[in-house]
């Protein structure tokens, strides 16, 4: 019963309850007809032995009509309706799992692999395919079995008791079998998560795999994962085989035992021929029920494991959704202020401690410092990839936690060293940001980012497909495209996280020219390792141990900041 509670929240995905009720009624009636079939055939045979051909034909005609009507028409319509309902549920559940995954806090993606989330969205969300149909059919069969057992007891308590004893034994076997199967399925899912994760990494990092010469290493890792999955599958096959042997023995014993007792009772006139013939149907119906309960047990355990994994996301059992406010900023200035901000990553020492900083618009602002001192953390907090532990971050005087998600995302953009571009056309990479954007607008933004000329030189121009991860673009081209795409959002704050650190001098100049244009109408903040890229910044903040220790222009910091001097000297030495 505890496991069945996992299914209850998914009922909200059924939007065609009328069709489900119709299908349920048809399946139930079909089960009742199945009961009648045994009795009608028995009665027809007994009528023939009594030389009452007319009654035999009537029984057979009723049997024929019921079979054609319910098993031939109604049950097929019911099954078709169920398949459609299940298909819709599966699609909705997949979408909801995908949507809730996008709402998860970044901490979730630090702990769990991409393969695990992909598996839950694409595999586990498909777990309800045919599940409702099978459960309804099985419920109908169980109701029919109860009616049959009442009929059997009315005619012979001995045979009824025999069937009850065998069913009790069978359910004891199932109860011991279920926990073992559930654990095996959990282990197999964990292996499949690793398989999906490595597959995803391998495809996205195919260039690095080839150039680093690590193909064999990756293949060996995959072999180990497959070994684990195979070992789990072998366990599953072994336990299923043992279970099938036990149930087959029980089925045979029930079948043979029932027929022997029926023959004896018929011989001594304790039961009628109608009952005897009916029992030849009903025993096989119980055989079918046991066999299907066996299959259903396996399916049920797989389904429950998958539903639990989906519910961890859909019902926020792993993590709470990101929470946003309801304030919408208009006519933004782009003033950013960190007030008494403290933050630490999960299971790590504090990165920022009582941090304060105010950033003004229409200036080229740079933030520098040694690695691990909190520079990128500022951007992660400002974009709410992570939230502050204490203190607050203000945008135009409003706490960013109080802004709506859409308003916050529209106001602040970040361009990283390796910007992400979608495997779509260049034009579609803009349309995903602004649905109704025109080609003229796209070209304008691309001209501002110094990428339009290159795009127009391509055969398909703005219809060029960029490939997985923008594989068809160079690093600088991706960054210029990312700048143009950011401009299409119309936000006031643009963050550059090491955006020029991996570029050559010529490429770096293009990005610097684009940034200089942005400064006129935006708040531009740059994190940089290469000081040569931010020498012309209006103000440079030096971060050390989670605090602002110095600020000023390049020339001022060379005179006043020892940390800046050391970083500059080290860079000059490395460039020789």
For residue 150, is pLDDT > 70? yes
**Residue ranges covered by each domain of the chain:** 17-185+228-314, 336-574
Is 0.75 surpassed by the pTM of this model? no
| pLDDT value of residue 507 | 61
Q: What is the mean pLDDT of residues 169-186?
A: 78
Residue 203 has pLDDT above 70, yes or no: no
In this structure, of 82-91, 280-289, 391-400, 534-543, the range with the lowest mean pLDDT score is 280-289
Res. 51: pLDDT tops 70: yes
DSSP for 207-249, please give it: HHHHHTT-HHHHHHHHHHHHHHHHHHHHHHHHHHHHHHHHHHH
> Is the pLDDT reported for residue 418 higher than 80?
no
- What fold is seen in the domain 17-185+228-314? ABC transporter transmembrane region fold (1.20.1560)
Say how far apart CA 276 and CA 259 lie, in whole Å.
Answer: 8
Total residues found in the chain within this entry: 576
443-466 confidence digits (pLDDT tens): 988 888 888 888 899 888 899 888
Q: What CATH code would you report for 336-574?
A: 3.40.50.300
The SS3 assignment for 497 reads strand
DSSP 425: B
First-residue to last-residue Cα distance in the chain: 72
The H helix count followed by the E strand count for the chain is 19, 10
What whole-number distance in Å separates Cα of residue 10 and Cα of residue 1? 16
8 Å CB contact between 97 and 309? no
Residue range 486-500: mean pLDDT, rounded = 78
Give 504-528 as a 3 state SS string.
CHHHHHHHHHHHHHHHCCCEEEEEC
pLDDT on residue 359: 86
pLDDT tens digits for range 530-576: 777 778 888 888 888 888 888 888 888 888 888 888 877 776 666 55
**505: pLDDT strictly greater than 80:** no
**Looking at per-residue confidence, does 395 or 200 come out higher?**
395
Compute the Cα dihedral for 174, 179, 182, 184 and give only its sign: negative
pLDDT at 47: 81
Which helix (H) or strand (E) segment holds residue 548: the answer is strand 547-552
Is residue 502's pLDDT more than 60? no
Beta-carbon count within 10 A of 371 CB = 7
Cα angle: 356, vertex 359, 362; to 5 degrees: 175
Instruction: Tell me the percentage of the chain whose pLDDT exceeds 90.
Output: 1
Whether residue 211 is predicted with pLDDT greater than 60 in this model: the reply is no
Q: How much is the average pLDDT of 199-227?
A: 72
Compute the average pLDDT of residues 316-327.
78
Q: What is the dihedral of CA 468, 469, 474, 479, to 10 degrees?
A: 150
Q: 483, 482, 447: which is closest to 466 by C-alpha? A: 482
Confidence of residue 383 (pLDDT cuts 50, 70, 90): confident
pLDDT digits over 462-490, tens only?
A: 998 887 777 778 777 888 888 888 888 87
pLDDT band, very low/low/confident/very high, at 218 (cuts 50, 70, 90): confident
């Amino acid at each position: 019963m505890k496991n069945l509670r996992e299914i209850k929240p998914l009922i909200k995905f059924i939007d065609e309850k009328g069709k489900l009720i119709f299908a349920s009624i048809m399946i139930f009636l079909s089960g009742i007809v199945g009961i009648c079939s045994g009795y009608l055939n028995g009665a027809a045979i007994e009528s023939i032995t009594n030389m009452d051909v007319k009654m035999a034909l009537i029984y057979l005609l009723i049997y024929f009509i019921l079979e054609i009507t319910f098993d031939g028409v109604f049950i097929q319509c019911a099954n078709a309706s169920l398949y459609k309902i299940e298909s819709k549920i599966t699609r909705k559940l997949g979408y909801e799992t995908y949507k809730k995954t996008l709402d998860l806090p970044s901490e979730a993606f630090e702990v769990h692999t991409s393969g695990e989330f992909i598996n839950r969205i694409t595999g586990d969300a498909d777990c309800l395919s045919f599940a409702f149909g099978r459960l309804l059919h099985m419920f109908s069969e169980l109701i029919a079995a109860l009616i049959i057992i009442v009929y059997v007891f009315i005619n012979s308590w001995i045979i009824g008791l025999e069937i009850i004893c065998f069913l009790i034994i069978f359910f004891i076997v199932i109860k011991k079998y279920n926990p073992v199967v559930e654990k095996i399925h959990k282990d197999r899912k964990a292996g499949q998560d690793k398989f999906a994760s490595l597959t995803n990494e391998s495809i996205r990092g195919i260039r690095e795999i080839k150039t680093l010469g690590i193909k064999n290493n990756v293949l060996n890792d995959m072999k180990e994962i497959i070994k684990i999955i195979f070992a789990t599958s072998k366990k599953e096959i072994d336990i299923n085989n043992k279970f099938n042997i036990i149930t087959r023995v029980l089925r045979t014993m029930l079948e043979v035992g029932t027929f022997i007792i029926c023959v004896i009772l018929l011989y001594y006139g304790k039961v009628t021929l109608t009952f005897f013939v009916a029992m030849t149907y009903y025993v096989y119906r119980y055989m079918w029920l046991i066999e299907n309960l066996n299959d259903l047990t396996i399916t049920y355990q797989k389904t429950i494991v998958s539903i639990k994994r989906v519910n961890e996301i859909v019902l926020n059992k792993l993590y709470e959704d990101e929470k946003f406010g309801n304030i919408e900023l208009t006519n933004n200035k782009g003033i950013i202020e960190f007030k008494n901000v403290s933050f630490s990553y999960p299971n790590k020492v504090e990165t920022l401690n009582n941090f304060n900083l105010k950033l003004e618009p229409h200036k080229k602002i740079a933030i520098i410092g040694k690695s691990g001192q909190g520079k990128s953390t500022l951007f992660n907090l400002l974009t709410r990839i992570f939230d502050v532990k204490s203190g607050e971050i203000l945008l135009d005087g409003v706490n960013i936690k109080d802004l709506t998600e859409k308003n916050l995302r529209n106001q602040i953009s970040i361009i990283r060293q390796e910007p992400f571009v979608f495997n779509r056309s260049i034009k579609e990479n803009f349309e995903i940001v602004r649905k109704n954007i025109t080609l003229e607008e796209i070209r304008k933004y691309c001209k501002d980012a110094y990428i339009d000329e290159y795009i127009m030189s391509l055969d398909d121009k703005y219809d060029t497909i960029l490939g997985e991860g923008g594989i068809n673009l160079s690093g600088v081209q991706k960054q210029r495209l990312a700048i143009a795409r950011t401009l299409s959002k119309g936000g006031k704050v643009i963050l550059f996280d090491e955006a020029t650190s991996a570029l050559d001098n010529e490429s770096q100049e293009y990005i610097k020219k684009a940034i200089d244009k942005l400064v006129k109408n935006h708040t531009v903040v740059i994190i940089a390792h290469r000081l040569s890229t931010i020498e012309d910044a209006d103000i440079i903040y030096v971060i050390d141990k989670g605090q602002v220790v110095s600020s000023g222009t390049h020339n001022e910091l060379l005179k006043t900041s020892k940390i800046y001097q050391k970083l500059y000297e080290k860079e000059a030495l490395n460039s020789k």
